[in-house]
Chain A
Amino acid sequence: MKKKMINAHGIRKQFHGQNVLSGIDVEVEQGDVLAIIGPSGSGKSTLLRCLNRLEEVDGGWIQIEGDMFVQENDIGEVIYAPKEKSKEIQGRMGMVFQQFNLFPHMTVMGNLLEAPIHVKKQPKEEILPLAEDLLARVGLSDKKDAYPSQLSGGQQQRVAIARALAMQPDIMLFDEPTSALDPELTGEVLHTMRELAEEHMTMVVVTHEMNFAREVANKVLFMADGNVVEAGTPEEIFDHPQRQRTQDFLRNML
């Protein structure tokens, strides 16, 4: 049996009394690529942000690689792992944002080295080869001294992926990584992600790219209105959707 990387159950989240997530289950095994699809406002980004505690859940529990990240006690209070443990668990997850969120005052290499050196306290000579290797893998070796503002959106997003990988995470989370890009630039980012998947990185990807979800993911979660409408393999979701809501959504997307 493969290792369970993410095991989440009954995740609930409210914003201003409004249910954004009403009891979501997520299971991700090692090497899985889980695509979360669904219309805007379905809660898919919120779900992703709950998995790494950028948002705190209002209910349910989450285990990361078997370690309890958050749980609910008998009287329904949400309890997160102690501060240090919680931070350590967060550190196992790399995050790629829709808006890249690179540090604009640092060069590409500076962005990659920042956290390994100052958070993990790795010596520079130890992390440098890995960082250079990562830049080569995303095809940006020649840009290591450039500032983010000198790069295209697609290049920035690839740097952001490399930056997250430089922390050597066990799981990579992508929050609509191509939604802020011009259509002709999405390909290069998806290509990088596809390569990552081929190297068996465990990935959770919130996306509007149906082709990517169909071809790269091995699990698909379709969400609408804060609920999981349907979950399954890409074939099940894209070729034989069972629910009317899924069929309608896919008809509009394809």
Chain B
Amino acid sequence: MDKILQYLQPMLEGSEVTLEIFLLTFIMVLPIGLLVALGRTAKCRPLQWLLELYIWVMRGTPLMLQLLFVYFALPLAGIKLPDMVAALLSFTLNYTAYFAEIFRAGIQSIGKGQYEAAKMLGMSYSQTMWRIIVPQMVRRVLPPMSNETINLVKDTSLIYILAMNDLLRAARTIVQREFDMTPFVVAAGFYLLMTFVLTWMFKRLEAYFSQYE
């Protein structure tokens, strides 16, 4: 028990890094993902192709590779980013692609009757999207969003390779120093706690947005 307590301090610090990356990425991904989704559903062909290419590259290559690219390859081109910024950039670029696709599916699941009703009431494109389509989309995308969000929590552990002291790295450091596997179990407990809280929050959100159904 003492041992666990003594491990706890560095692991809590690691959790802070993990949570920081998760939260900042999540906050950035929501609006950017929504904008990309709206761009994908707008009628501008070149924009659609550009965004499709972006999504293809981001979903079609490993996140680990993207992290290594931003962290090690960009500096060769003269772009040296601080560790945290590099990590955030990679995660945001990658997860935006997934969230954009979730949002796009949500937008396209709204029947064309809603657009026609809005049009006949004189609403503009942006009024129709922001006031009619997107609010209805939110309820429908919550379950797949919940999935992706939990994935993001776990994927933050990939920054392990960037020598940033996240939760997983903190655990591994102790394991290597003490020859004791307990920190892995503690780390698992931390991740489970985070995903538990997220799952609970998404459940509440779903209930809240279901009130009109």
* Residue positions of A touching B, CB distance < 8 A: 52, 54, 87, 90-91, 93-95, 97, 99, 101-106, 114-115, 118-120, 147-149, 163-164, 167
Residue in A99, A102, A167 whose CB lies within 8 Å of B122: A167
| Closest chain A CB from B114 CB (angstroms) | 6
A147 near B212 with CB under 8 A, answer yes
B113 near A99 with CB under 8 A, answer yes
Distance of A52 Cα from B119 Cα, bound (Å): 10
| Closest chain A CB from B156 CB (angstroms) | 33
Closest 3 CB pairs of A and B: A115-B121, A101-B117, A101-B113
Given contacts A101-B113, A101-B114, contact A114 B121 (CB under 8 A): yes
B120 near A105 with CB under 8 A, answer no
Q: Which of B72-80, B128-136, B187-195 is the interface stretch?
A: B128-136
- What are the residues of chain A within 8 A of B83 when measuring CB–CB? none
Per-position 1/0 for B107-127, Cβ under 8 A of A: 000010110110111110001
Which of B113, B131, B212 has the most chain A CB atoms inside 10 A of its CB? B212
Per-position 1/0 for B195-213, Cβ under 8 A of A: 0000000000000000111
B113 near A91 with CB under 8 A, answer no
Distance of A106 Cα from B211 Cα, bound (Å): 11
Supplied contacts A99-B113, A105-B135, A114-B121, 9 more A-B pairs, CB within 8 Å: A97-B113, A102-B117, A103-B132, A114-B131, A115-B121, A118-B131, A119-B123, A120-B122, A167-B121
Distance of A23 Cα from B135 Cα, bound (Å): 41
Distance of A91 Cα from B139 Cα, bound (Å): 31
Residue in B120, B135, B212, B213 whose CB lies within 8 Å of A93: B120
Distance of A141 Cα from B203 Cα, bound (Å): 34
| Closest chain B CB from A75 CB (angstroms) | 26
Residue in B114, B122, B136 whose CB lies within 8 Å of A90: B122
B116 near A97 with CB under 8 A, answer yes
- What are the residues of chain A within 8 A of B116 when measuring CB–CB? 54, 95, 97, 101
22 contacts between A and B (CB under 8 A): A87-B122, A90-B120, A91-B122, A93-B120, A101-B117, A103-B132, A105-B212, A106-B212, A114-B121, A115-B122, A118-B131, A119-B121, A119-B122, A119-B123, A119-B127, A120-B122, A147-B211, A147-B212, A148-B212, A164-B120, A164-B121, A167-B122
Distance of A167 Cα from B119 Cα, bound (Å): 13
Beta-carbon contacts under 8 Å, B119-159 to A: 119-123, 127, 131-132, 135-136, 139
Distance of A6 Cα from B113 Cα, bound (Å): 24
| Closest chain A CB from B138 CB (angstroms) | 9
Distance of A14 Cα from B142 Cα, bound (Å): 40
Which residue of B is nearest A97, CB measured? B113
| Closest chain B CB from A4 CB (angstroms) | 22
Which residue of B is nearest A102, CB measured? B117
Given contacts A105-B212, A149-B213, contact A52 B127 (CB under 8 A): no
- What are the residues of chain B within 8 A of A164 when measuring CB–CB? 120-121
- What are the residues of chain B within 8 A of A87 when measuring CB–CB? 122
A115 near B119 with CB under 8 A, answer no
- What are the residues of chain A within 8 A of B135 when measuring CB–CB? 105
Which of A99, A105, A149 has the most chain B CB atoms inside 10 A of its CB? A105
